Amino acid sequence: MTAIGGLVLDALRARPDHVAFRHGSAEVTYREAERLVLGVADALAGAGLRPGDTVLQIRPNDPLQWLVNAACYVAGHRSAALSPGALRGAALAERLDLVAPDAVLAEPGDPDLDAWSRAHPGVRVLTDRDLMAAGEPGTAVRAPASAVVRLAFTSGTTGPVKGVELSGGALGTVATVLRDTLPWPERPRVLCPESVSGGFGNMVLPTLMLGGTFVVPERPGPDALLEAAVRHRPTVLMAMPPALRALLAHPGAAGHDWSSLALVVYSGASFTDEEIDRAHALFGEVLCGVFGQVEVPKTIAWTCPADHLDPRFRSSLGVPFPGTEIRVCGPGGRDLPAGQAGELWVRGPTTACAYAFPAGTPVENGWLRTGDVCRRDAHGRLHHVNRVQDVLRIGDIYVCPNDLEAAVSRHVGHLAAVVPTGPASVAVLVEGVASPDTASRDAVSRGTVSRERETASRDTVSRDTGSWDTMEKAVRDALRDAPVVIDAVVPVERLLRDVMGRLDRARLAEVAG
């Protein structure tokens, strides 16, 4: 297992005159990138930081952000990052207290950060200028593979935020596996609007190991992404589904020549058949999905472009990455056969072994329990079903809302969401229908109609009482053979979704309650 810091320096020294990064009109060569990495490492040491100390960045997304990470990888510091303005006030102070940084890299003028810093005078607050002030860089001592060099945060959408500790060896293996597995073009020009300190930051080193260039748009949003595509003619586009959806909907996207693209890599959620078809029409048949978690960065499973042409596989998570072992297990830990839904367990060299907070380990007997409920089909591909907290455990099986939702939708012709209300009971929310008791109330609560229109809305809906009774009966008939009790059938104007386009089950449970 090779530490990521050594891989960074080896990659940068292999092609000194090539362009490593582009950011707007600025560019950084491999030689300049190496000098920056070593210079930042020296500057951190000069500020009194030692191996094992934590460096937290709160600064914009740009190449320097990744180069600071790389300096930490080389020197053996724990690198962490927050987006500027992502947390404010007490929420920022709480996160800072959890991270307990030894140094914070940020620009001055943030009152919340300044207030926290005054209460923690031992924490060094550094600026970009401080990092650039170092003289001629020295020879870096490469941190061992066992050193923890990354502190990454879970999203907190399914529970308390966790601080995931990743070793240099695990991250080095992530880079090598991604380089050797994905169908990269030669010397890729990668355009990526996502944070280089987030999950897609794991794609920077594979790009450099292949002699490529990593392009970071000057600002967020689809306009900047399209401008960067026009300027740099990428051969690889990498983005989360929200960014790709925004690009697909952009009025200027269809007029751009995307023929340079050999690969479009996405992660975080699957696309619908309609979205895949639109992406193929715009970019070509070049989609590639990667699936991972913060605890297993981007290296659990993947789908190749050919999978997106096969109706059986296009919405799957794909096959495991080389070196990643998987199990699909029932509630008691029993391995389940193909076709049966169970929790996905993962083991491999890219898996984190510890949490900084809350203190503990995500691994049990060598296996990470991911919290994702999946099925493995007869071809060995994984299909995501639900999160484990959203399913019902009845005996030694998981009853999955997605399966119940599909049954309802097929039967009644409307999209549905199913949320647990008890150990074996559920509520069913049906989109695009209304009842006299709920339609205007729901619309007003979401701000979609004014109070003045509420009475008119009720009058209109009251004429449809009979049709709602028929709909409710149809929903119950659809789940007649399911091992659940239906507590309520709830009509809604639309089903609430999160930023990734998935059903927002926590908010839907509040609506159903």
Q: CB–CB of 287/280 below 8 Å?
A: yes
Buried b (16+ CB within 10 A) or exposed e, 34-73: bbbbbbbbbbbbebebebebbbbbbbebbbbbbbbbbbbb
For 287-346, the pLDDT digits (tens) are: 999 999 999 999 999 999 999 999 999 999 999 999 999 999 999 899 999 999 999 999
Q: CB–CB of 439/459 below 8 Å?
A: no
What 197-201 contacts at long range (C-beta under 8 Å, 24+ apart), as own/partner pairs, is: 197/57, 197/61, 197/65, 197/66, 197/69, 197/79, 197/81, 198/81, 199/267, 199/268, 199/292, 199/294, 199/297, 199/298, 200/238, 200/239, 200/240, 200/267, 200/298, 201/66, 201/69
Q: CB–CB of 61/216 below 8 Å?
A: yes
Distance of CA 22 to the CA centre of its chain: 23
- Which residues are CB-contacts of 209 (< 8 A; sequence separation ≥ 6)? 7, 11, 175, 176, 179
CA–CA distance, 1 with 3 (Å, rounded to integer)? 7
Q: CB–CB of 305/288 below 8 Å?
A: yes
Domain residue limits, the chain:
4-386, 400-512
- Give me the sign of the Cα torsion angle 71, 73, 74, 76: positive
Predicted confidence band at 140 (pLDDT cuts at 50, 70, 90)? low
The answer to whether residue 447 scores a pLDDT higher than 70 is no
For 232-282, the pLDDT digits (tens) are: 999 999 999 999 999 999 999 999 999 999 999 999 888 999 999 999 999
Helix runs in 348-427, H state only:
401-412
CA–CA distance, 275 with 281 (Å, rounded to integer)? 10
Return the SS3 of 489. strand
Residue 138's pLDDT is: 66
Predicted confidence band at 445 (pLDDT cuts at 50, 70, 90)? very low
Predicted confidence band at 156 (pLDDT cuts at 50, 70, 90)? confident
For 387-437, the pLDDT digits (tens) are: 999 999 988 889 999 999 999 999 999 999 999 999 999 999 999 876 656
3-state secondary structure 262-326: CEEEEECCCCCHHHHHHHHHHHCCCEEEEEEECCEEEEEEEECHHHHHCCCCCCCCEEECCCCEE
Predicted confidence band at 468 (pLDDT cuts at 50, 70, 90)? confident
- Give me the sign of the Cα torsion angle 250, 255, 256, 260: positive
* Helices and strands, number each (H, E), in the chain: 16, 26
Q: Closest by alpha carbon to 426, among 445, 407, 440? A: 407
The answer to whether residue 449 scores a pLDDT higher than 50 is no
Return the SS3 of 217. coil
Mean pLDDT of all residues in 358-386: 93
CATH number of 400-512: 3.30.300.30
Residue that has been written with the tokens 């729901």 in this structure: 442
Q: Radius of gyration of the chain from Cα atoms?
A: 25
Instruction: Flag the least confident range among 161-170, 214-223, 453-462.
Output: 453-462
Task: Name the CATH superfamily for 4-386.
Answer: ANL, N-terminal domain (3.40.50.12780)
For 191-241, the pLDDT digits (tens) are: 999 999 999 999 999 999 999 999 999 999 999 999 999 999 999 999 999
Residue 435's pLDDT is: 64
User: Mean pLDDT, the chain, as a whole number?
Assistant: 90
Return the SS3 of 246. helix
Residue 108's pLDDT is: 85
Range with top average pLDDT, 171-185, 394-408, 436-450: 171-185
Q: Are strands 189-191 and 287-293 parallel, antiparallel or unpaired?
A: unpaired
The answer to whether residue 104 scores a pLDDT higher than 90 is yes
